[in-house]
Amino acid sequence: MSADVNLGGDVEIKWVEVPEAQDIWEGDIVDAAVDGEQVIIVHHLDGSYDAFQGLCPHQEVLLADGKWDEESCVIACPGHLWEFDMKKGDGINPKGSTLYRYPVKEEGGVVHVGIPQDGEAHYTKSYES
Ligand code: FES
């Protein structure tokens, strides 16, 4: 299964195999450096995958080290407990921040994350302190 992300225009996507995500169970998360970018990959209970920026928009702590609840699909950052909906990438508490979402696909048990070749930073940052 794959998650489609509308990048608009004709942005070229570089699909990168992510061995770290190869054998994670449904309901698990894993962090990985993908083509130099820190990414968190979620293997949902329904078998689908999502991939988001792996560093918290607040102060760049590794989200995968946070408290993860696979039923609610919510992760709490270990830094200051900001919570994110890992289906949408939206901030729950506080609201207003959003994780950058990467395209992701799984083919034959191999997970690939798409890195847009657009020269942009694939990362959002909150300016709340
Ligand atoms: S670094 Fe994540 S909540 Fe502060």
Q: What is the pLDDT of residues 54-70, one digit of tens each?
A: 999 999 999 999 999 99
Cα(23)–Cα(61) distance, integer angstroms: 24
Q: Which atom of ligand 1 is nearest to the CA of 61?
A: 1
What's the rounded Cα separation, in Å, for the pair 51 and 113? 7
Q: Do 82 and 74 form a contact (C-beta atoms < 8 A)?
A: no
**Ligand 1 atom nearest 80 alpha carbon:** 3
pLDDT at 121: 86
**Coil/strand/helix, residue 2:** strand
pLDDT at 127: 67
Report the pLDDT value the prediction gives residue 10, as an integer from 0 to 100. 86
Report whether residue 112 contacts ligand 1, using a CB cutoff of 6 Å. Answer: no
pLDDT tens digit sequence for 32-45: 999 999 999 999 99
